[in-house]
Amino acid sequence: MLALLAAALLQEAPKTPDEVTAITQVRAIPISGSDIESATIVIKNGKIAEIGKDAKVPEGATIIPGKGLVAMPGFVNAYTAFSWSRSMGGGSTPQNLAFDEFNPALDIFDVLPRTGFTTYGIAPGGGVIAGQGLAMKLNGLPKEQMVVSRSAFLRIHVRADSSVKDMLRREFEAAKKHLDAEKKYEDEKKKYEEEKKKREEEEKKKKESGKTDEKKDEKTQPLQEPKPPQKPDARMQILVNALKGELPVVLQAESPAAVAHFWQILETLEGVAPRITYLCASEAWKAADRFGEKKATVMLLPRLEFVPFTHDRLNTAAELHRAGAKIVFATAGGYDAHEDFLSGVAEMVKYGLPREAALKAFTLHAAEVLGIEKSSGSLEAGKDGDVVLLSGDPLSATSRVTRVLIQGRPVYEEGKP
Amino acid sequence: MRRIAGSILWLLTFGSAWAQETPKKDDTKKDDAKKPVYVALVGGDVTTVTKGTLRGATVLIKDSKIHRIGHGIPLPDGTVQHDVRGRRVLPGFVACSAYGLGVSGWGGGKLSDMLDPYSETVQLALASGITTAYLELGFGGGFFGGRTMSLGQGSAVVKMAYGRLDEMTVLEPAAVDLSAWTQGGASQRHGVREKFGKAREYLQKLDDFEKRKSQNRLKPNEQAPSTGGVEQEVKLLKGEALARVSASTADEIRVVLQLLSDFPMKCVLVGVDEGWTLPEEIGRSNAYCILTPRNRVYRDRGVNRPNGSSIEQAAILRKAGVKFGIVPTSPMIDLDGIAGRDLLNLPLEAAFAVRGGLDEQTAIESITITAAELIGVSNRIGSIEEGKDADLIVLDGDPFDYRTFVDLTFVNGRLLYDKEKSPYFSHLKRK
Amino acid sequence: MLALLFALAVQEAESTVAIRAAKILTMGPPGVLNEGVILVRGGKIVAVGERIVIPPGARVIDGGESWAMPGLVDLHCHIGGSLWDINDMVHPTNPELNTKATVEPASELLADAAAGGVTTVLYIPGSGTNIGGFGVLMKTGGGRTIDDLVVRFPGAMKVAQAWNPERGGGDLGLTRMGMWWILRRQLDRAKAYHTAWTNFEKGLTKVKPESRPDLELMRGLFQRRYPVIIHTADARDIMGTVRIFHDEYGLEVILSHGEDNAYRVAPEIAKRGLHMDVGPRLFDPPFWSFQNRIVGIPAEYWKGGVRRLSINTDSPVVPEEDLMFQASMAVRLGLPERIALEAVTVAPSKAVLAEDRVGSIEPGRDADVVLWSGPPLDVRSHVRTTMIRGKIVYDSRRDGRRN
């Protein structure tokens, strides 16, 4: 009786319904694979459940007709400066969080989704090792839920200057010491574990065979468990994580000369593998060979430069791409810069950057800068339902953004207030 | 056990040698990565500066060094060849006093931390045949490169290695500034003397300490003497560093020579406008000079001795055995339109010394080997000799001919400037 | 002692001097002579050629391996006086002023210039105002007073527009609008004055016009007895100059400086047959070319069709004695050699309407002859001897090397 009642209760307990949206017959540019001419994109509870030509539309799904439209992953602007702090120091403050300065109630956030940009990296203001930037999505939720990562990257601003270089050297060398100590401990611990296991097995064998070799027992030195190294303070840990490659780094430099000086410091540290995105404001093409050699990620404005003192156009992005570097486009500008962004990207393609690299530059590659590529940057099952619908090809001057979904929630629809 | 260990040991040593005799396919791949790069400049008139001129000869470069010079040199497979017949090959010019070449705008601290390997000034220096420069922080930079403020004492010998920061700094700091001696008054000079006196004392004590140490006659717990804050002066007295000081008039020059006679050391006098009035004294002191033949200081007729500048200065100093470098009136790249007075035309300043009676051999030395010597890098820079750095220029004529341009510039064996491919002068064809 | 020297000097001038040189660049119809002779008497050249018979009793100056050239001519010189006397900047136009008052014949700067082979200069006021005043065409040596040195006064009227005058003459003129208005007003006044006086001189009116010393000298401009030399900058300024001074007012014009891409209007200058006096800048900074090139200014004028071309020093911006070096640099930057040599001899003398006096070694010209130790354009050559009006004003062995 009780069991039946329980079963009935269980059956009747109200279940929170799945939020399902399906975009049908849309031309999809998933970024992670080839374009799909007529695709169905199913978003369930904020994540992409399925995308494909033959994906089935689940029952009860909200249907967004996509015929005649183009779907792309929500655009990612990996480096913005909304609400920069007033603190402009020259120092090393890796513990500072852009999160603490971030004001989610800015007017601009209400209108930004219209531009197709769903995801933003926000850098902290400040000095040389400025602090940690955040990654956020304009999903309309409270601050804590907007912020996808409070520690998305470490911003470093480098200059060709002794005091800046000396500071970076000092900080990195200190972090490296911790890293080395950590690694040494890992190696020693591993050896200890192996040795311990070996001895335990020997002991076991001896007990089984009943023999005791007293002579041997006397000779064997007692095993010493290695002492873990002193943990670095919170500040230093951030730098250690950056050097390990666990915390992405965005290196801001006014010119390739500053980058060259940074490389000079980095080259003295062996065995580190930081994940660096180079934000080189101008003339990055001058160091194209070195960026290419390192297969570096370079972040730029989608804007042509000029060959010095001439009217000849120079497509820095195309030059870097040709040399083997990875391109990311970003803008620290306001609303207009985001509105005009796609026309800038189109110009990049017009003057020689391959289309695929151009489209990745503000989707998947940008997500990688912020370390959020597992959830963002392409239309793939398992990733966030960040979808931008356009009236035509993203690189066409006549296309408009018609709808935007962020984590499955509609945040913009053309024509609706 | 021992026998087995021994054979293992034998196998390890001789076995591996045996294995090396038959290289596996993987090894050749590793060799490729380290294969030397050969570049040859073929058929030009090679002015070595130190060992005469070889007509129609070849210079073979291996990686970053000059490998062989001569006629009929066999060229290894894969050598990149440049046909320079009818042209001249010289060592890259050395600007022994310069500002604003490859230095980025407003910075601070060490010069090497302020270098900009991508600066237009570096390209222009290469286009003018300059491959090495002694740079100082000070107002400079001319039209380009920003005016670098003097935010600290900084000097460095820098190569114009475009795009390669790590190859730029050759020597830093490059000289010890002794201007306190000439610009200060009596009390400043007293201070300088004291320091050198201390340095000399230290060296004597050190010598004595070393002697007694070798004879085991040290006192218990005796330590080596300390330099006590005069390290620079000690280096100077030991000949391990170069001093540099500005001195224009005969009086100023004499004042420096006085210090040098009390404390002999390697010293460079900069400016030296009236040096021609006391050539033997300078010659005896072994001081180096940096001259600007066209610098005009008017003769004061009220003074009862020769004074002012003279176009014949270089020739006069040469006769007295003085070694000098030459720099132009504007020791920077100046693009405001006045032609021929800045580093864009370094050899022409030396040509003015020839106008004043200097022989051409010494004139070419003053912008190559001697300039390199007085900035402390002549062991690797300043002449075309086997083993020296492959910093070379190819000219379309006599370096002292006003119509001559640089066609090619190599730094550390790499071609960094080609007149035909660079925008600056490719439109000017030598007839 | 002085009287004796003076007497000797007079004697020197009256007797015949024969100069022998391995090469003579006459810069005139006699052309280039090998192992030639120049005969000088009374301060004038009486003959030049390869087969000249030297009259007995003539003093022979054996130049040996030297190259002989006419003394150089510079149309843009500010070093005739003390350097501080050349700008009176209260009124925007000052046609009543002239530099004759400021000449310092014993100046070291002039002596250095002569020792650099420069024998005739147009010594003009600075560019602090739109009309600085009148300049004097003078020698760089060979006399103790200004009258000894004058070739012709007035040499030319100096006009300046662009950049320098904007530093303030007191009136309008901060913009080109104001400047052109001021210049036109001045020219109109001068033209009216000239017309009134011409009519009076011809007897067309009986009313004698007012005599105005400030406008008197400007009459000579309208009579084309001497030119107006105009400091200009870019193409816009050149076109303004050309339109107003030449097209509208019919004056003999020397355009001076012409930097900042101005050579792009070379065809307009060539079309009107006007003279371009380039310097002191001989190249524009690379960005002006929009191709990151270092473009030689005199070469561009030449390529654009300008056939009346001279080079100056704008001394002291470039030292006056470096005029030949300026010519060398112009060649380096693309100007043909022959044109460069003409640009510092016959071309400037023609431009200032003095070719009958200076700029070439031809019978009848002033005996301004310079002996060079080698090819004059070669930087390694130096001046051995400078003769002005038959008098040796500089000899490197007698006086010691100045350059």
- The DSSP line for A327-395 is EEE-----HHHHHSHHHHHHHHHHTT--HHHHHHTTTHHHHHHTT-TTTSSS--TTSB--EEEESS-TT
Q: List where CATH 2.30.40.10 sits in chain A.
A: 1-74+377-417
Q: Which chains touch A (3 or more CB pairs under 8 A)?
A: B, C
Asked if B159 and B404 touch (Cβ cutoff 8 Å), the reply is: no
Gap from B162 CA to chain A (nearest CA, Å):
10
Weakest-pLDDT range from A7-21, B46-60, C316-330: A7-21
Does B148 contact chain A (CB < 8 Å)?
no
Does A293 contact chain B (CB < 8 Å)?
no
- Nearest CA among A26, A110, A22, A18 for reference residue A69: A26
Residue A8's pLDDT band (cuts 50, 70, 90): low
Q: What class does CATH assign to A1-74+377-417? A: mainly beta
pLDDT at A281: 84
Q: How many domains does chain C have?
A: 2
Residue C93's pLDDT band (cuts 50, 70, 90): confident
Q: Write the pLDDT tens digit of every residue in A120-153.
A: 999 998 889 999 999 999 998 888 889 999 999 9
Contacts of A136 (CB under 8 A, 6+ apart): A102, A104, A119, A120, A122, A146, A147, A148
pLDDT at A14: 65
Structure tokens at C34: 């090998």
pLDDT at A141: 82
pLDDT at B149: 35
Res A83 pLDDT > 70: no
Residue A217's pLDDT band (cuts 50, 70, 90): low
- Chain A residues touching C290 at Cβ < 8 A: 309-311
Mutate which: C261, C292, C294, vs A, most A CBs within 10 A = C292
Pick the residue from chain A with its C-alpha nearest to B117. Answer: A257
- Verify that C171 and C201 share a domain, yes or no: yes
- Nearest CA among A247, A251, A246, A248 for reference residue A263: A251
Question: CA-CA distance, C104 to C119, in Å (whole number)?
Answer: 15
Res B25 pLDDT > 80: no
CB pairs B-C closer than 8 Å = 82
Q: SS3 sequence, C190-254?
A: HHHHHHHHHHHHHCCCCCCCCCCHHHHHHHHHHCCCCCEEEEECCHHHHHHHHHHHHHHCCCCEE
Work out the average pLDDT over B274-289. Answer: 97
Domain ranges of chain B: 93-171, 176-193+227-381
Q: Which chains touch B (3 or more CB pairs under 8 A)?
A: A, C
- Nearest CA among C18, C76, C72 for reference residue C49: C18
End-to-end alpha-carbon separation of chain B, Å? Answer: 84
- Verify that C383 and C321 share a domain, yes or no: no
- Chain C residues touching B337 at Cβ < 8 A: 259, 280-285, 297
- Verify that C219 and C251 share a domain, yes or no: yes
Under an 8 A CB cutoff, do C290 and A310 touch? yes
pLDDT averaged over every residue in chain A: 91
Under an 8 A CB cutoff, do C292 and A311 touch? no
pLDDT at C10: 54
Question: CA-CA distance, A78 to A363, in Å (whole number)?
Answer: 9
- Verify that C187 and C269 share a domain, yes or no: yes
Question: CA-CA distance, A374 to A148, in Å (whole number)?
Answer: 12
Residue B4's pLDDT band (cuts 50, 70, 90): very low
Pairing mode, if any, of strands C67-70 and C309-311? unpaired
Supply the pTM of this predicted model.
0.89
Question: CA-CA distance, C46 to C53, in Å (whole number)?
Answer: 12
- Verify that C288 and C354 share a domain, yes or no: yes
Question: CA-CA distance, B213 to B225, in Å (whole number)?
Answer: 12
What ranges in B175-239 are assigned the alpha helix state H?
179-183, 186-214, 231-238
Res A6 pLDDT > 50: yes
Structure tokens at B283: 């010659």
Work out the average pLDDT over C77-100. Answer: 80
Under an 8 A CB cutoff, do B114 and A161 touch? yes
Q: What single letter denotes the amino acid at residue A365?
A: H
- Chain C residues touching B335 at Cβ < 8 A: 285-286, 294
Q: In angstroms, how far is CA B415 from the centroid of its own chain?
A: 20
Pick the residue from chain A with its C-alpha nearest to C287. Answer: A309
Asked if B295 and B273 touch (Cβ cutoff 8 Å), the reply is: yes
Specify whether domain B176-193+227-381 bears CATH 3.40.50.1820. no
Specify the higher pLDDT residue, A105 or B121.
B121
The second-level CATH assignment, the architecture, of A75-173+233-376 is Alpha-Beta Barrel (3.20)
Structure tokens at B425: 């002068």
Q: Write the pLDDT tens digit of every residue in B382-397.
A: 999 999 999 999 999 9
Q: Which residues of C touch A (CB under 8 A)?
A: 286-287, 289-292
pLDDT at C169: 55
- Verify that C333 and C224 share a domain, yes or no: yes
Structure tokens at B153: 């004492």
Gap from A318 CA to chain C (nearest CA, Å):
22
Q: What percent of chain A stands above pLDDT 90? A: 73
- Chain A residues touching B119 at Cβ < 8 A: 257
- Nearest CA among B112, B123, B104 for reference residue B165: B112
- Verify that C48 and C141 share a domain, yes or no: no
Res A310 pLDDT > 60: yes
- Nearest CA among B368, B360, B374, B364 for reference residue B322: B374
pLDDT at C95: 83
Structure tokens at B367: 């912008």
Does B150 contact chain A (CB < 8 Å)?
no
Residue B146's pLDDT band (cuts 50, 70, 90): very low
Weakest-pLDDT range from A53-62, B339-348, C131-140, C282-291: C282-291
Q: Write the pLDDT tens digit of every residue in A318-357.
A: 999 999 999 999 998 899 999 999 999 999 999 999 999 9
- Nearest CA among B36, B76, B34 for reference residue B58: B76
Does B401 contact chain C (CB < 8 Å)?
yes
- Verify that C396 and C344 share a domain, yes or no: no
Task: Report how far apart, in Å, the C-alpha atoms of B209 and of each of B199, B214, B221 are.
Answer: 15, 9, 13
Residue B144's pLDDT band (cuts 50, 70, 90): very low
Most confident of A240-249, B173-182, B226-235, C211-220: A240-249
- Nearest CA among A232, A249, A238 for reference residue A180: A232
Mutate which: B116, B153, B162, vs A, most A CBs within 10 A = B116
Element at B280 (helix H, strand E): helix B279-285
Residue C109: give its domain's CATH number.
3.20.20.140
Res B103 pLDDT > 50: yes
Does B166 contact chain A (CB < 8 Å)?
yes
Domain carrying residue C9 = 1-70+360-403
- Verify that C387 and C345 share a domain, yes or no: no
- Verify that C340 and C376 share a domain, yes or no: no
Work out the average pLDDT over A231-243. Answer: 94
**Residue A345 buriedness (CB in 10 A; 0-12 / 13-18 / 19+):** buried
Res C12 pLDDT > 60: no
DSSP SS3 for B348? helix
